[in-house]
Amino acid sequence: MLKMLHPVEVLSRLPPFVLDGLNIMELPPSAANFATQVKTERFSGSAAVLTVTWGAVCVIAALGVFGGANLTAAAIAGLVVAAVGAALAARMSTQPSTAAKASEPETPANQPFEDAVEAVPDPLLVVGAEEPDDLAGKRLVFANAAARALLRIPREGALLLSAIRRPEVLEAVDESLFGGLSGNVSFETGGAQDRFWRVWTAPLPSRGVKRLCVILMRDETDSRRNERMRADFLANASHELRTPLASLTGFIETLRGHARDDEAARDRFLGIMGVQADRMARLVDDLLSLSRIELNEHIRPEGACDLGLAVSDVVDALGLIAKEKDVTLSLAAPPKGAAVVVGDRDQIVQVIQNLADNALKYSPRGGVTKIEVTAGLTLAEASATDPRSPRLISADGGRLSLLTPDRTEERLYVCVKVTDQGPGMERRHLPRLAERFYRVEGQKSGDRQGTGLGLAIVKHIVNRHRGGLWVESAPERGSVFAAYFPSAAAQASGIPAAAVEAPAPAEAPRVIRAAS
């Protein structure tokens, strides 16, 4: 516990923004009074000194000017006033008023301190140790609520090495414990969702043979993502907009020159310029969309979406395009309410739209694009491989997981799978499919050229939803793209095998046939 620590010793060593970020109104009364006391501690001493000094100066001036006393006597009187005032100020600052004591309920000495530290929104830890080389002896004396939620540790007694394993952080802790130095380090966590952290360490006064230090962690993911988003947007926009801008510039110069009076050439060039301008507009829209998704990628959505209904809406929207391309759309989905997932409906619709749109673009005339929705899958089932797939039998075919959710909890998933009869891809292209602006060489996407950002957007949306994404393809055998999202149904963990529902059966396939 924190009985061995004085409140000011810990809070006064934290960065100023920690106390500034506390909402005094939300704290218990004792903690609010204590936090206010620590905030004012930084400048109260200076204010008292200025007040006493000003009083002494006033006394000296009064005695010297109006009292007729000599300067030496006035100075002595001023010093006496300063001494008495300083004693009174010290007494008033260290002893609370009788009225305040009577109005406040009696609390343990360190209770206000613990309440204030518990309310700090950033993870805060106090570490104790005796020997530098004794790893088992470095244990947490205290962890506030934010630290316990992040690191999944008890309030006290946890081994430091089991809570924090970053070498740079452990080195900074050792320097604070045994070197008396304050420091701060930054690091990035791995996993599907990257997080950026900054850690401050500061020594605390030792208690006997036990050395103490305080650790404060702050999540800087938002600010780092903002910086990266701006840099990526400028780099990608400048690179990808160069070609259409050069094309527009060339056509404008041609129309101003020898093609000025050629009506047929002018109409043809204006049509090409319109296509290029439309491509630039779609490119900018996709870049902005991708940047917004990446900015909030570490924040899990909390809404609910019926994946079956979302797929049905996308199929309806793409029906006209499918008929124009002479491609049949086939949809197989479970009944309404059986495929509800946790997520942002607009972003989930964007995932389905991008996958189905790609399938239509690369499907030959007279082909079939199948969209299947399956609910009630475990993670192993959602990412399972079908060894009978013709794309896996092919020599150049293959299957690759582009995104796998962290295995922090056992959940059920709902999977949407899009299968086309397009030209397919060799296995060597699969790892790069979700890269920005990556295009498979030699493939024709028909009249509607994409921006090269569709699958990158899909991957980041699925990642934000803590889902998974895999692809299966082979030359001349078509491709399969599958995205799966956490189900809103009960988690699979702790549910008896007999109680887990089997995957929801799909309704009879709904078909939008090509125009005859």
pLDDT tens digits for range 16-50? 655 555 555 555 555 556 556 655 555 455 455 44
How many CB atoms are located within 10 Å of the residue 360 CB? Answer: 22
Q: Which long-range contacts (CB under 8 A, 24 or more apart) does 11-14 make?
A: 11/35, 11/38, 11/113, 11/116, 11/117, 12/38, 12/41, 12/42, 13/182, 13/202, 13/203, 13/204, 13/214, 14/124, 14/200, 14/202, 14/214, 14/216
| 432 against 95, higher pLDDT | 432
pLDDT band of residue 10 (cuts 50, 70, 90) is low
326 - beta bridge partners? none
What are the structure tokens assigned to 143, written together? 């962890």
Strands 124-129, 139-143: parallel, antiparallel or unpaired by DSSP?
A: antiparallel
The confidence score (pLDDT) of residue 82 equals 45
Q: Which CATH number fits domain 120-219: 3.30.450.20, 1.25.40.20, 3.20.20.10, 3.30.930.10?
A: 3.30.450.20
The answer to whether residue 145 scores a pLDDT higher than 60 is yes
The answer to whether residue 5 scores a pLDDT higher than 90 is no
The answer to whether residue 135 scores a pLDDT higher than 70 is yes
CA distance 201 to 160: 14
Cβ neighbours of residue 340 under 8 Å, at least 6 residues apart?
A: 304, 305, 306, 307, 414, 487, 488, 489
CA distance 348 to 143: 38
pLDDT band of residue 263 (cuts 50, 70, 90) is confident
Q: Which of the residue ranges 145-159, 202-216, 267-281 would you say has the lowest mean pLDDT?
A: 267-281
Per CATH, is 222-299 categorized as 1.10.287.130?
Answer: yes
0.75 cut: is pTM over it? no
What are the structure tokens assigned to 123, written together? 């993870």
Task: Kindly state the average pLDDT of the residues 335-339.
Answer: 91
| 45 against 151, higher pLDDT | 151
Q: Report which listed range, 14-28, 74-88, 215-229, is most confident.
A: 215-229
The answer to whether residue 98 scores a pLDDT higher than 70 is no
What are the structure tokens assigned to 336, written together? 């309404």
Is residue 279 within 8 Å of 248, Cβ to Cβ? Answer: no
Q: Which CATH number fits domain 300-512: 3.30.565.10, 3.30.2140.20, 1.10.600.10, 3.40.190.80?
A: 3.30.565.10
Is residue 348 within 8 Å of 305, Cβ to Cβ? Answer: yes
The answer to whether residue 80 scores a pLDDT higher than 70 is no
Q: Which of the residue ranges 3-17, 190-204, 330-344 would you say has the lowest mean pLDDT?
A: 3-17
The answer to whether residue 370 scores a pLDDT higher than 90 is yes
507 - beta bridge partners? none
- Dmax over CA atoms of the chain, in Å, equals 117
The confidence score (pLDDT) of residue 3 equals 53
**Nearest Cα to Cα of residue 443 among 469, 419, 475, 482:** 475
Task: Kindly state the average pLDDT of the residues 271-298.
Answer: 82
The answer to whether residue 413 scores a pLDDT higher than 90 is yes
Task: Kindly state the average pLDDT of the residues 247-262.
Answer: 82
The confidence score (pLDDT) of residue 74 equals 46
The answer to whether residue 190 scores a pLDDT higher than 60 is yes
The answer to whether residue 134 scores a pLDDT higher than 90 is no
As annotated, the residues of the chain forming the CATH 3.30.450.20 domain(s) are 120-219
Cβ neighbours of residue 35 under 8 Å, at least 6 residues apart?
A: 11, 19, 22, 24, 27, 112, 116
As annotated, the residues of the chain forming the CATH 1.10.287.130 domain(s) are 222-299
Share of the chain above pLDDT 90, in %: 28
The confidence score (pLDDT) of residue 294 equals 79
Is residue 110 within 8 Å of 3, Cβ to Cβ? Answer: yes
Task: Kindly state the average pLDDT of the residues 138-167.
Answer: 90
What are the structure tokens assigned to 279, written together? 């491509």
Cβ neighbours of residue 463 under 8 Å, at least 6 residues apart?
A: 192, 193, 297, 403
CA distance 484 to 380: 11
The angle, 0 to 180 degrees and rounded to 10, between the axes of the packed helices 345-362 and 454-464 is 150
197 - beta bridge partners? 187, 219
Task: Kindly state the average pLDDT of the residues 117-121.
Answer: 85
pLDDT in tens, 421-460: 988 988 888 988 888 877 776 555 555 566 778 898 999 9
Is residue 333 within 8 Å of 315, Cβ to Cβ? Answer: no
CA distance 131 to 29: 39
CA distance 146 to 476: 54
CA distance 292 to 344: 14
CA distance 64 to 69: 5
| 8 against 97, higher pLDDT | 8
Task: Kindly state the average pLDDT of the residues 116-124.
Answer: 86
CA distance 515 to 500: 43
How many CB atoms are located within 10 Å of the residue 470 CB? Answer: 22
To the nearest whole number, what is the mean pLDDT of the chain? 76
